[in-house]
């Protein structure tokens, strides 16, 4: 079966979702403006339809965990890093150093950061939850403003406007 692609408009950009019967291969944010509605066609694999539904629930604040069949392409090390990213709880962050300790190799900080940067499954594998040791929002392929938006969206404490 060939890979199928659909596009889903989010509050922070258009998501391009690619998958087949074996699962979601990639979700990436693209800077193309699509019409405001998304359309799911019947010929898409169930995993893509489920992905759109779960992303919709996530952006509406109704979903904190994803339950999707994933099939990212990468090296064994990258997959190990990506699997560890999935253990960072919703609304929490972890530093790159903490992330390297979680995978059992505190000296691999550059390799872990590189693997995070190659994460092919946006939001569902939450690389946006990894921050610099000083608390800074460093390194995010989708742009730092999106990383900030996602962390704020997941924050249990919502910032109130004074105006």
C-alpha span between 62 and 107 (Å, rounded): 38
**Is residue 95 within 8 Å of residue 131, measured between CB atoms?**
yes
pLDDT digits (tens, 9 = 90+) for 4-20: 999 999 999 999 999 99
Q: Where are the alpha helices (DSSP H) in the chain?
A: 46-59, 76-85, 96-102, 109-117, 144-154
pTM for the complete prediction? 0.88
**Is residue 100 within 8 Å of residue 109, measured between CB atoms?**
yes
**Is residue 135 within 8 Å of residue 116, measured between CB atoms?**
no
Q: Are strands 13-20 and 4-10 parallel, antiparallel or unpaired?
A: antiparallel
Of the given ranges (13-17, 55-59, 79-83, 138-142), which has the lowest mean pLDDT?
138-142
Higher pLDDT, 124 or 33: 124
pLDDT digits (tens, 9 = 90+) for 120-132: 999 999 999 999 9
C-alpha span between 32 and 13 (Å, rounded): 8
Per-residue confidence band for 106, with pLDDT thresholds at 50, 70 and 90: confident
**Is residue 112 within 8 Å of residue 132, measured between CB atoms?**
no
**Residue 1 CB: number of other CB atoms within 10 A?**
7
Domain spanning 4-59, CATH architecture: 2-Layer Sandwich (3.30)
Residues serving a catalytic function are 127
What is the C-alpha R_g of the chain? Answer: 16
Per CATH, the number for 76-154 is 1.10.10.10
pLDDT > 70? residue 73: yes
For the chain, the structural domain boundaries read 4-59, 76-154
Give the closest residue to 48 by CA, choosing from 80, 85, 87, 15: 15
């Amino acid at each position: 079966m060939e890979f199928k692609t659909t596009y889903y408009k989010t509050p922070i950009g258009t998501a391009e979702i690619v998958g087949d019967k074996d699962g979601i291969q990639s979700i990436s944010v693209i800077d193309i403006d699509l019409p405001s509605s998304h359309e799911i066609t019947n010929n898409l694999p169930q995993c893509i339809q489920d992905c759109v539904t779960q992303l919709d629930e996530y952006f509406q604040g109704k979903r904190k965990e994803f339950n999707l069949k994933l099939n990212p392409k990468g090296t064994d090390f990258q997959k190990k890093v990506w699997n560890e990213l999935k253990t960072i709880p919703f609304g929490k962050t972890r530093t790159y150093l903490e992330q390297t300790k979680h995978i059992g190799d505190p000296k691999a900080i550059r390799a872990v950061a590189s693997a995070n940067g190659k994460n092919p499954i946006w939001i569902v594998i939450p690389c946006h939850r990894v921050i610099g040791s000083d608390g800074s929002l460093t390194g995010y392929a989708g742009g730092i403003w999106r990383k900030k938006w996602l962390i704020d969206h997941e924050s249990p404490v919502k910032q109130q406007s004074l105006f």
